[in-house]
Structure 1
Amino acid sequence: MTSFATRKIHCSEDEAWAFAAVANRLGNANGVYRGPDGTALVFMTFGEVKLSTPKSR
């Protein structure tokens, strides 16, 4: 349980997805994105996605 109170942990990618799923649920987010940061993988949740056409200049 202390893993949820630690800012940074070393775990497998499958375990990281499980942590991200919990964060997604608790934060009422709409999804999770995984991106690279050097040798680390960063998992982040995101809210509503809105697509729009760019305005002409």
Structure 2
Amino acid sequence: MLLSTRQLVFCSTSGSLRILLLLLLLLLFYYCYDYYYYYYYYYYYYYYYYYYYYYYYYYYY
């Protein structure tokens, strides 16, 4: 009885820990994807700003 209860608790804990680990991995994947998207957006914005500054400098001088 005690062994069965302990095994049930261990299986439940293992399943919960596995789900938590999967959720953490999914969150990390989403964070990395979000970071990559923001990095690409920042690079595009910086390139656009540099192009605008160059055009402004060329137009006025």
| Both proteins in one fold, TM over 0.5 | no
Higher relative contact order (CA 8 A, sep 6+): 1
Structure having the higher strand fraction is 1
Larger radius of gyration, structure 1 or 2?
2
Q: What TM-score comes out, normalization by structure 2 length?
A: 0.28
